[in-house]
Amino acid sequence: MVIMMEYIIKNGIVYDPLNGVNGEKMDICVKDGKIVESVSDKAKVIDASGCVVMPGGIDSHSHIAGAKVNVGRIFRPEDSKMEVYAKKGLRSGTGFSVPSTYKTGYQYSEMGYTTVIEAAMPPLIARHTHEEFMETPQIDKAAMPLFGNNWMVMEYLKEGDIKACAAFVAWMLKTVKGFAIKIVNPGGTEAWGWGKNVHSIDDPVPYFDITPREIIRGLAQVNELLGLPHSIHVHPNNLGHPGNWETTLETMKCVEGIEAKPRVGERETTFYNTHLQFHSYGGTSWKDFESKALEIAEYVNKSKHVVVDVGQVTLDETTTMTADGPMEYDLHMTNGLKWANCDVELETGSGVVPFIYSPKGPVYSVQWAIGLELFLNIDTDKVMLTTDHPNAGPFTRYPRVIAWLMSKKYRDEWLYNKVHKWAQQRSHVADADKEYDLYEIAKVTRANQAKVLGLSETKGHLGVGAEADIAIYAIDPEEKDGKKIEKAFRYAKYVLKGGEVVVKDGNIVKEIFGDTMYLDVQVGEDLMNEVLKDVEEKFRSYYSVNLENYPVSEEYANSWRVIKIDATDIN
Ligand SMILES: [Zn+2]
Structural domain boundaries enclosing 367? 55-508
- The mean pLDDT of 524-544, rounded to a whole number, is 98
The answer to whether position 513 is within a domain reads no
* φ, ψ at 488 (rounded to 5°): -65, -40
Question: Each residue of 503-526: pLDDT tens digit?
Answer: 999 999 999 999 999 999 999 999
Distance 61 CA to ligand 1 centre (A): 6
Distance 139 CA to ligand 1 centre (A): 19
- The mean pLDDT of 55-64, rounded to a whole number, is 98
497 contacts: CB under 8 Å, gap ≥ 6: 56, 109, 114, 138, 139, 469, 512, 514
- The mean pLDDT of 460-465, rounded to a whole number, is 98
pLDDT of residue 3: 59
Distance 120 CA to ligand 1 centre (A): 7
The answer to whether position 552 is within a domain reads no
Question: Each residue of 203-260: pLDDT tens digit?
Answer: 999 999 999 999 999 999 999 999 999 999 999 999 999 999 999 999 999 999 999 9
What is the C-alpha to C-alpha distance for residues 196 and 207, in angstroms, rounded to an integer? 12
Q: Where does the pLDDT of residue 552 fall: very low under 50, low under 70, confident under 90, or very high at 90 and above?
A: very high
Distance 278 CA to ligand 1 centre (A): 10
pLDDT of residue 5: 87
Tell me how crowded residue 297 is: count the other CB atoms within 10 A of its CB: 23
**Is 369:429 a contact under the CB 8 Å cutoff?**
yes
Q: Where does the pLDDT of residue 4 fall: very low under 50, low under 70, confident under 90, or very high at 90 and above?
A: confident
pLDDT of residue 507: 98
Distance 63 CA to ligand 1 centre (A): 6
Distance 172 CA to ligand 1 centre (A): 20
The answer to whether position 22 is within a domain reads no
pLDDT of residue 440: 98
Question: Each residue of 86-98: pLDDT tens digit?
Answer: 999 999 999 999 9
What single-letter amino acid sits at 416? Y
Query: Which residues hold their Cβ within 5 A of ligand 1, which is an ion?
Result: 119, 388
Question: Each residue of 331-346: pLDDT tens digit?
Answer: 999 999 999 999 999 9
Half-sphere exposure of 215 (CA within 13 A, CB side): 37
The answer to whether position 558 is within a domain reads no
What value does the CA radius of gyration of the chain take, rounded to a whole number of Å? 22
Q: Residue 2: is its pLDDT beyond 90?
A: no
Return the sign of the alpha-carbon dihedral for residues 218, 221, 227, 228.
positive
Distance 394 CA to ligand 1 centre (A): 12
> Residue 562: which of 174, 182, 144 has the closest Cα?
174
Classify burial at 143, counting beta carbons within 10 Å of its beta carbon; exposed 0-12, middle 13-18, buried 19 or more: buried
Q: Residue 1: is its pLDDT beyond 90?
A: no
The answer to whether position 445 is within a domain reads yes
Tell me how crowded residue 424 is: count the other CB atoms within 10 A of its CB: 17
Q: Check residue 480 and give left, alpha or beta (phi > 0: left; psi -120 to 50: alpha).
A: alpha
The answer to whether position 533 is within a domain reads no
Domain count along the chain: 1
Question: Each residue of 163-189: pLDDT tens digit?
Answer: 999 999 999 999 999 999 999 999 999
Q: Residue 35: is its pLDDT beyond 90?
A: yes
Distance 556 CA to ligand 1 centre (A): 23
Distance 354 CA to ligand 1 centre (A): 15
What CATH number should be reported for the domain holding residue 458? 3.20.20
Q: Tell me the pLDDT of the chain averaged across its residues.
A: 97
365 contacts: CB under 8 Å, gap ≥ 6: 315, 359, 419, 420, 421, 422, 423
**Is 229:265 a contact under the CB 8 Å cutoff?**
yes
Distance 464 CA to ligand 1 centre (A): 33
* Distance separating the N- and C-terminal Cα atoms of the chain: 41
The answer to whether position 382 is within a domain reads yes
Q: Residue 70: is its pLDDT beyond 90?
A: yes
Distance 342 CA to ligand 1 centre (A): 16
The answer to whether position 446 is within a domain reads yes
